Chain A
Amino acid sequence: MTLTLNLHIKCSAKMYALAFMFMCSLIIASTPVQADSISVGVLNERVADSDIRFWTSTVNYLSKQIPEHQFNIKPMGYECLTNAINKNQLQFLITSPAHLVALQSSGARSIATLQTQSQGQTRDTFGAVMISLEQRIDLNDFSNIKDQSIIARTPFEFGGFQIIKRELLLSGVSIENDFLELRFTNGSQENIVNSILNEDADIGIIRSGLLERMIEEGTLPAHKIKVFHKKNTKNYPLLHSSSLYAEWQFIRLNETDIALARQVSIALKNMPKAILSSTSMSIQQEHYEPHYGWTHPTDLATVSGLLRALKLPPYEPSIKISFNRLIDEYGLVIVLIAVLFITLALSILRFSHINKKLHLSQKELAKHRDNLEEKVKKRTQELSQVNQALEEDIKARESVEFTLRRSRSVLQGFYEISMASNYSHSDKLEQLLSLARIHFQMNSTFLYKVDNPHRQLDTPSTWILQSFDGDPSYEKEAVRCIQTNLLNPVYEQIQTYENNQCNKRLHSLMIKVDNQPHRMLVFIGDLISESKFTDVDQELLQLMTQWIGSAIERQAIEQESEIYRSQLGKVTRLFTVGGMASGLAHEINQPLTAAVNYISGCLRRLKEDKPAQIEVGLTRSLESLNRATDIIRHLREFVQTGVPRTEKFDLVTSINQVLDLLSSEARQNQTLLNLRTIQTSINVTGDPVQIEQVILNLVRNAIEASATKGHVNISLDVLESKVQITVRDIGSGIQDEEMEAIFNAFHSSKPQGMGLGLAICRSIVEAHSSHLKVQNNDLGCQFMFKLPLAQNDFNEMHAREIR
């Protein structure tokens, strides 16, 4: 709404301006200045009809009073007027006091001032008024103007905008910045009053006297508009918000004839008062007459003061650049540029300094290079000398290396023998003795067992020959040597003896087990000049005895653990039975319950004498009891710890028995047990009870590893003379790091497990000369072992294959 109105006002203002421009150009063009024609320019700031009428009547009056001249008015805009003045087209001018002050420098002088009358008093001053709606009680002073919009005619208007601007400035308020909005209508001042009435703006700026005139004419209802920031001036009855300034002036321009001006001045002062109003309406006491007449020129000091304060022409700020302003506005930039220059200069200085230094160091470098070349020559000579020394050293080292290599190869041999898994303990010992004998270049070696370490060692009768290598004829000599020369052998050290008479040499060392002498190792051979028993050889011998010692210890421990393991087998068997007890209770209870039901039913029928029915009942109860007996027999067979037997038995039947035993457990876990085999019976040799236990353990583990509703497959595959038994489950498999440990006793992944099951299984399988293997497959894991087929079966199967 405000926007469209604004636009409208702007448009109309433009049209006005255009119209005036056109008019003034028309006037200037159509009426060339005549000798007796006097042009009176009028600043077209006040556009009321009454204004025009008054100016017209004034010039008409002047034409009448000074008949030799014809006076014409030329209303123009500010710019048109300035143009016309510059071209000397005007002789007189009716304009605002501000315009007069601006023109004073070009010699314009006032010859009369407009007079107004109101309430019987004549005045030649006027002010400006700030108006708002009567009901806006919040608008009384400048306290809350920030939220208000203000409206004025034009920024060049003296009798309104400029006066109020000055007034606000005196109160410390900037009209441009301190309001919500500042708008210019460019129309008439009545429009401003109307805008306030329509609430297009909060505050309006108009000339003093306008309100009173509008009320008088009836175009404005009384008490609708109030004056804002009201002032009281003595002898000035009109409403005003500002100081008062001189009224409009009748001006003589510089080129105008002074005599004519004086004539005009006198004529104006004598002009009858209120020539307009006297014709239209009767003079009343309250009446306001804006065009009462003309009087003598007034003082323009207040107007000058205003123009100076607002920096308006002729007091507009000069465009001359002052040094202080320059500093104020561009200070920072100047300082920055200065700093930049200083930095640049400093860095140039620094670079030149560095350049000089560089030159110096270059010279020094050249000097150093020359020095270095000399030094290098000297050094090369020294190095060649050192090189010769080194070459000699290398030769010495090579011989040492040869010895080392020899001992390394023998050590490698030691290692291979000791690590070889396919040799038995005694085989390893023999190989070791042979290797050492060849390495030490001896004829024969003997290993004696020391029967009683606490007795005197000098009696060879306590020594028992355990093992030997090489020529056995040397033994006599060896025994003799030890007896005669080593009466008090020191256990820890190698005893070396060389006899030049019989041309023999001998090395011996005591082997200790549990820090007790246990074995005696003796090497004997012919004395050969070039053979040497080096330090390395000594260490080798020490190492060898240590190995033999620890091997003996290990053997003893293995024997112990074998016994322990067979005992454990019994213990686990009992544990397994305990774990199955609750399952078995149910298994046995079922047929027993059924039998009880049948028999008591029979007893009841006995009274009714129904023999046929009783027979059925008794038969069925017998079936149930037989089932219970089967279960118990299974259990007994399982618990019995028989002496390991090797007998021929049917593997399929055995496995089926085990699966029967486990069926309740499988049902609880909702696991299916499948036996996959092509043959209905496979006879194998072994201990049936032990094999059943292995299968039971493996299948139980598989059931526990399976998720519910999984299945466990047991498959039998005949491979030549053996049958391979595989137990597969569908579960999470075994983790790689656990693979190693699962066969160890007391290792278990189950919270209640003893960790004995797999250890026992392995020992049983190994007792049947097979290996228990475990693998992860893509679904879970599988355990495998092999059993030998019974001889008859083996032949039979092969015969079938051949056929």
Chain B
Amino acid sequence: MEICVYVVDDDQQVRESLQWLLDSVNITTQLFKSGQAFLDTFSAGLPGCVILDVRMPDINGMDLHRLIKKVDQHFPVIIVTGHADVPMALRAMKEGAFDFIEKPYNDQHLLERIQVAIQQHSAAQKEQKKHKTLTTLFSQLSKREKQVLDGVLQGKSNNSIAEMLYISVKTIEVHRANLMSKLNVKTVSELVRLAIEADHDRITPPQ
């Protein structure tokens, strides 16, 4: 899905000018004139970030921020306001806003923050995706295969693994071949690398 910056502001001029600015650095934008209009199209797992104005009719920016967090906890939200006070900013940050920027702002600063938000979010999303793939891969292994994998990772030979698990060397070999094909690796070194990644992500590696 394409990376997109969502702009929610009730003031048409502000909305359109922001689109114009972001367009100049080749960032796609989508404009919404109210919080409800945005919530109607928003869903979890989207790339990009959202820029909110605090002072809006119906749903104000602070409330909208909370509602967005309910849908997607990791989605970056940048709150923009014309008259900020410290408690409001503190509250927004505490509730997990990516940034809180005061109007009128330095365009360079805003653009930088938008870029950072988008990058961090997409990196996090990628990480999450990898984590998910690894989880599915390792969840395919049977209990016995996990025990064999454990032995392989400890650098034990097939013979010593067989002794440890009280089964024949032949069976160990069959298990080993199965788990290699399930994890989609060809060599032991690939297997070890995958296992280390999985361990890093705390996906239950073999006991």
Chain A positions within 8 Å of B, measured between CB atoms, are 582, 585-586, 589-598, 600-601, 604-605, 617, 620-621, 623-624, 627, 667-668, 670
Question: Assuming A586-B82, A592-B103, is B13 touching A604 (CB within 8 A)?
Answer: no
Q: Name the A residues within 8 Å of B104 (CB-CB).
A: 589, 592-593, 596
Q: How far is the CA of A518 from the CA of B80 in the complex (A)?
A: 70
From B21, B82, B108, A590 is in contact (CB under 8 Å) with B82
Do A590 and B11 touch (CB < 8 A)? yes
Residue of A with least CB distance to B13: A594
**Which residues of A sit under 8 angstroms from B83, Cβ to Cβ?**
582, 585-586, 589
Identify the 3 closest CB pairs spanning chains A and B, nearest first. Answer: A589-B82, A597-B17, A600-B107
> Would you call B107 and A597 a contact (CB within 8 A)?
yes
Q: Is the CB of A593 within 8 A of B105?
A: yes
Residue among A586, A589, A620 having the largest count of chain B Cβ atoms under 10 Å:
A589
CA distance A605 to B20 in the complex (A): 10
Nearest Cβ in chain A — how far from B202, in angstroms? Answer: 44
Q: A597-B107, A601-B17 are in contact. List 9 more A-B contacts (CB 8 A).
A: A585-B82, A594-B17, A596-B105, A596-B107, A598-B20, A600-B24, A601-B21, A601-B24, A667-B57
A-B contact pairs, 25 of them (CB 8 A): A585-B82, A586-B55, A589-B82, A589-B103, A592-B103, A593-B17, A593-B80, A593-B105, A594-B11, A594-B13, A594-B16, A596-B17, A596-B104, A596-B105, A597-B14, A597-B20, A598-B17, A600-B24, A600-B108, A604-B25, A620-B16, A620-B17, A624-B13, A624-B17, A667-B57
| Residue numbers in B under 8 Å from A595 (CB-CB) | 17
Tell yes or no: B18 within 8 A of A by CB. yes
Check: B23 CB closer than 8 A to any chain A CB. Answer: yes
Report the Cα distance A598→B20, complex, angstroms.
7
Q: Is the CB of B17 within 8 A of A604?
A: no
Provide the bound-state CA to CA distance between A670 and B83, in Å.
19
A666 to chain B, nearest CB (A): 11
What is the count of residue pairs linking A and B with beta-carbon distances less than 8 angstroms? 70
Pick from A585, A586, A600: contact of B21, CB under 8 Å = A600
Given known A-B contacts A600-B107, A627-B13, A667-B57, A593 and B82 have beta carbons under 8 A apart: yes
Residues of B within 8 A of A600 (CB): 21, 24, 107-108
Across-interface contacts of A594 in B (CB, < 8 A)? 11, 13-14, 16-17
Kindly state the separation between the CA atoms of A591 and B12 in the bound complex, as whole angstroms: 10
Binding site for A on B (CB under 8 A): 11, 13-14, 16-18, 20-21, 23-25, 55, 57, 80, 82-83, 103-105, 107-108
User: Which residues of chain B come closer than 8 Å to A601, judged between CB atoms?
Assistant: 17, 20-21, 23-24
B107 touches A590 (CB 8 A): no
Chain B residue numbers with a CB within 8 Å of A617 are 20
Known: A589-B104, A627-B13, A667-B57. A597 touches B21 (CB 8 A): yes
Query: Which A residues touch B105, using CB under 8 A?
Result: 593, 596
CB distance from B155 to the nearest CB of A (A): 57
Q: Please, how many angstroms separate the alpha-carbon atoms of A604 and B107 in the complex?
A: 11
**Smallest CB gap from A590: residue in B:** B11
Instruction: Tell me how far the C-beta of B67 lies from the nearest C-beta in chain A, rounded to whole angstroms.
Output: 19
Report Cα–Cα, A156/B83, bound state, in Å: 115
Known: A585-B83, A667-B57. A590 touches B20 (CB 8 A): no
Contact residues in B for A582 (Cβ distance below 8 Å): 83
> Closest residue of chain B to A668, judged by CB?
B55
Judging by beta carbons under 8 Å apart, are A620 and B103 in contact?
Answer: no
A21 CA to B108 CA, complexed, in Å: 134
Determine the chain A residues whose CB is within 8 A of the CB of B24 once the complex forms.
600-601, 604-605
| CB neighbours of B82 from chain A (8 A) | 585-586, 589-590, 593
Find the B residue at minimum CB distance from A620.
B17
Q: Write the nearest CB–CB distance from B177 to chain A, whole angstroms.
A: 58
Q: Smallest Cβ distance from A670 to chain B, in angstroms? A: 7
Which interface residue of A590, A597, A598 has the most chain B CB atoms within 10 A? A597
Report the minimum CB–CB distance from A409 to chain B (whole Å). Answer: 69
**In the complex, what residue of chain B is closest to A608 when comparing beta carbons?**
B24
Nearest residue (CB) in A for B22 is A601
- From A670, which residue of chain B is reached at the shortest CB distance? B57
Q: Are B20 and A620 in contact (CB under 8 A)?
A: yes
Give the residue name and chain of the A residue nearest to B14 (CB).
A594
Per the bound structure, the CA–CA distance linking A596 and B57 in Å amounts to: 24
Beta-carbon nearest neighbor of A597 in chain B: B17
Question: Which chain B residues lie closer than 8 Å to A598 at the CB level?
Answer: 17, 20-21
Q: Given A600-B107, A617-B20, does the pair A590, B13 have CB atoms closer than 8 Å? A: yes
User: Which residues of A lie under 8 Å from residue B57 when comparing CB positions?
Assistant: 667, 670
